[in-house]
Structure 1
Amino acid sequence: MSEDVSKRRLGRGLAALIGEMDQPLPAGDARPSINPDRTVPIEFVSRSPKNPRRYFDESELQDLAGSIRQHGIVQPVVVRTTSNDRYEIIAGERRWRAAQLAGLVDIPVIVRDVDDRTALELAIVENVQRADLNPLEEALGYDQLIAEHGYTQNDLGEIIGKSRSHVANSLRLLKLPEPVRDMLAEGSLSAGHARALVSTPDPVVLAKIITSKGMSVRDAEKLAQNHIKAQNAPPAAEHRDAKDSDTIALERSLTDRLGLSVAINHKGGAGQLKISYKTLDQLEEICRLLEAR
């Protein structure tokens, strides 16, 4: 697809764009041609390695397979040609997977011969429209369009019908370490929870606290802010020079685990452990942890 055609499609709206994928185009239209409702052997269709969607709920696939056994595939799978009689999925991998579970031999497809960039764009739009992507998959899809095809955040915002800030906030999730990204993909952390952790020194520890306590996004934001403040707070002047590296490392480790500022004053085998809190909730949490031990 030419750059001019691609640009004309920007901002046309998700519903219209998705509708085009399932409808034949008028004769003479300059956009990619569509052959609706062609039936092909299911083994001739393969998933796209660049499909932004990575996670498929097994129970939901089984439910869809049961429906397909009774009613067939209501909405064709959108594909593009890769070789003679071979096709790659642009949109509808979930239906294709469920059709295999249902034992279908043939499936209806809509053929849209587009380039790699447009295929990825349509896959992301289709999944975002149907809310099929988890926040991590969505961010990875945006990142792939930017890295491989030179899209700007403004372009992506127009394509998916969301603001540039939505795209920017989505991309920020990719800065999180792998364990937190896994929690995001599994659904134990929401995008709001995860965004609160992006700028913290140890998001893995905080993510575990958030999930174990079932914190709201607002509470997670407060926890993250307190953690950042605690990490940035300088040690007391009278003890700054006296502390060895092991003591400082232990302070940081305890601060990470508790999410609160911890100071250790150690000398001659004895000393003090100081835990600073700013709210009664934080004090109650300290007491709970001590009682649990």
Structure 2
Amino acid sequence: MNEDLSRKRLGRGLAALIGDLDKPSSPAGQSPQIRADRSAPIELVSPNPRNPRRSFGEEDLEDLTQSIREHGIVQPVVVRTMPDNRYEIIAGERRWRAAQRAGLTSVPIVIRDVSDRVALELAIIENVQRADLNPVEEALGYQQLIDEHQYTQADLGQVIGKSRSHVANTLRLLKLPEHVRSMVTDGSLSAGHARTLVTALDPESLARRIVDEGLSVRQAEALAQQPPRVDTGRSERGAPSEKDADTIALEKTLSDALGLKVSITHGQRGGDIKIRYSSLEQLDTICHRLQRN
């Protein structure tokens, strides 16, 4: 399959290669590349080492495992043949992982014999279409297609059904330091917030401030445009910028008592206490404790 034909087929909304990957193939009128569904020993099925997806949510994986224990695998795993009667996963690695946890000895498979390049394209595109990738994984997948198969941003936009600007903005995440990218990967920093930091002089410290202070994307944009603050040794309230040991100890005591992060700043004219919460239930708990007396 030549490169132009592959992109053309992918550009038709993946109908030719991935549109019905999870559905059993029909023997009537099938192409020579398509084989009938079968079951394969689970130990003979392996994940694609180049699959851009690296994160599998533990809670979602456990829910799927329980479902498979009760109902089996509803959608087969899509694979391609490999040497020694083995199979490599194109789509369905999460189902394969859950099947292992559920104790299955075999999994239903649909075989699609495609080249290394098309297998990589499908692995990336299938995950993007299903929104299974976090923003950094998505960006790395796009970059793989650009580096290895000479895709343009316009090509990618057409293939995945998104705008070229979406592709460009996603790729911008790869310009961030590794620590900031890790914050996006674990969900503590949104992709929208992260993109505001691409041109910042100190993106790591700004990322921590965005998370600690719960800033909006608009606030993050304004913060990123400001010149870095010069450490004068004094805070805005006239107190030393470094917290003393007593303040740190008090923060820890309050944090331990509440089970939430507490930050204290104070100076000659007063100060404030900040309590970070991540859910309405935690806010409700704080309100109840403050209203006890």
Query: What range is the shorter-chain TM-score in?
Result: 0.7 to 0.9
Q: Quick one: structure 1 residues 167 and 292, their matched pair in 2 at CA, closer, same or farther if it must change by over 3 Å?
A: same
Q: CA RMSD in A?
A: 2.4
Q: Show the counterpart of 1:3.
A: 3
Q: Name the CA distance, whole Å, in 1 between partners of 2:9 and 2:15.
A: 12
> Residue 27 of structure 1 is aligned with which of 22, 26, 29?
29
Residues 142 and 156, structure 1, Cα contact 8 Å, conserved in 2: yes
Q: CA deviation at 1:292?
A: 5.9
2:69 is matched with 69
Structure 2 counterpart of 1:75, one-letter code:
Q
1:88 deviates by 0.8
Q: Is the 8 A contact 1:36 1:109 kept in 2?
A: no
Letter in 2 for 1:69: R
Residues 28 and 58 of structure 1: is their aligned pair in 2 closer, same or farther, counting only changes over 3 Å? closer
SS of 2:122's equivalent?
helix
| Alignment of 1:78 onto 2:78 | yes
Structure 1 residue 120 and structure 2 residue 120: aligned? yes
Structure 2: stretches of 5+ with no match in the other structure: 237-263, 274-293
Alignment map for 1:152-191 (pairs within 5 Å): 152-191=152-191
Q: 1:203-228 CA deviation, whole Å, 9 max, x = no partner?
A: 000000111111121111111122xx
2:39: which partner in 1?
A: 39
2:154 aligned counterpart, secondary structure: helix
Secondary structure of 1:35's aligned partner: coil
Instruction: Name the residue aligned to 1:277.
Output: none
Task: For 1:66 and 1:218, locate their aligned partners in 2 and report how far apart those are by CA, in whole Å.
Answer: 41
The aligned runs of 1:144-223 (5 Å cut-off) are 144-223=144-223
Rounded to whole Å, the distance in 2 between the matches of 1:201 and 1:122 is 37
Compute the TM-score of the two structures, normalised by the length of structure 2: 0.75
Kindly tell me: are residues 289 and 83 of structure 1, through their superposed partners in 2, closer, same or farther at Cα, counting changes over 3 Å? farther
Matched to 2:189, the amino acid is L
Partner in structure 1 of residue 245 of structure 2: none
Q: Secondary structure at the match of 2:196?
A: helix
TM-aligned CA deviation for residue 17 of structure 1: 5.3
Equivalence for 2:108: 108
C-alpha distance in 2, partners of 1:7/1:64? 33
Matching residue's letter, 1:11? G
> Over residues 233-256 of structure 1, what are the superposed CA-to-partner deviations in whole Å (9 max), with x where a residue is unaligned?
xxxxxxxxxxxxxxxxxx75x39x
SS class of match (2:110): strand
TM-score between both structures, scaled by the size of structure 1 = 0.75
**Matched residue type, 2:29:** A
Residue 143 of structure 1, CA deviation: 0.5
Tell me the residue number matched to 1:130.
130
- Structure 2 CA distance for aligned equivalents of residues 72 and 118 of structure 1: 29
- Per the TM alignment, residue 81 of structure 1 is displaced from its structure 2 partner at its CA by 1.1
Matched residues, number: 239
Rounded to whole Å, the distance in 2 between the matches of 1:65 and 1:54 is 18
Partner Cα distance (1:87, 1:289) in 2: 62
**Gap change, CA 1:289 and 1:192, over 3 Å in 2:** farther
Percentage of pairs with the same residue: 64
